Amino acid sequence: GHGDRRDRAQPERVRLGAAARKSRAWSVACGVWHTAAVTEHGQVLTWGTGDQGQVGHGKKEPSLSPKIVEGFLVTEDLGEEPIQCVACGPFHSAAVTVKGDVFTWGKGEVGQLGLGPSNMGSYKPALVKGIADVVQVAVGSLCTAAVGRTGQLWMW
């Protein structure tokens, strides 16, 4: 996230950049090869390795600095929804909107994106259908889980 490939042995501030509209980080999640942050305005910024689409920028390229992830559209006429939380696994990521919708992106070969059996992956966020009112999401190596507002638990 510092714009280079140098290791850091001590904490060093990550600059979110102009793309974040001068927002502050609200929460952060770390995968094996990438990181995601949610800003106070509900934007998602990611950086790191993107060879499986896990950074959600639409291509197979790494990002050394934070970049905004776009595409959290439930319907075209509503525009993008603000994000409340994000989770990162080794090769995929998930986010929950303030309205409780779940989006996933990255590698999906065993169904971990929740987008159906024929989906092998997505380089941009895709809406997971069949669940709603989600408040938390967690991502493992080959699975994803979500908790609903009234205590329901979903796994895929």
Give domain limits for the chain: 24-155
Q: Is the predicted pLDDT of residue 2 greater than 80, yes or no? A: no
pLDDT, position 57? 94
Which tens digits make up the pLDDT trace of 89-130? Answer: 999 999 999 999 999 999 999 999 999 987 889 999 999 999
> Which residues on adjacent β-strands are paired with residue 87?
94
pTM assigned to the model:
0.90
With a cut of 70, say whether residue 64 has pLDDT above it: yes
Q: Quick check: 101 and 74 in contact, CB under 8 A?
A: yes
Report the Cα–Cα distance between both ends of the chain, in Å, rounded.
Answer: 30
Given a cut of 90, is residue 131 above it in pLDDT? yes
What distance in Å separates the CA atoms of residue 51 and residue 87, rounded to the nearest whole number?
18
When the candidates are 3.30.465.10, 2.130.10.30, 2.60.40.10, 3.40.50.2300, the CATH number that belongs to 24-155 is 2.130.10.30
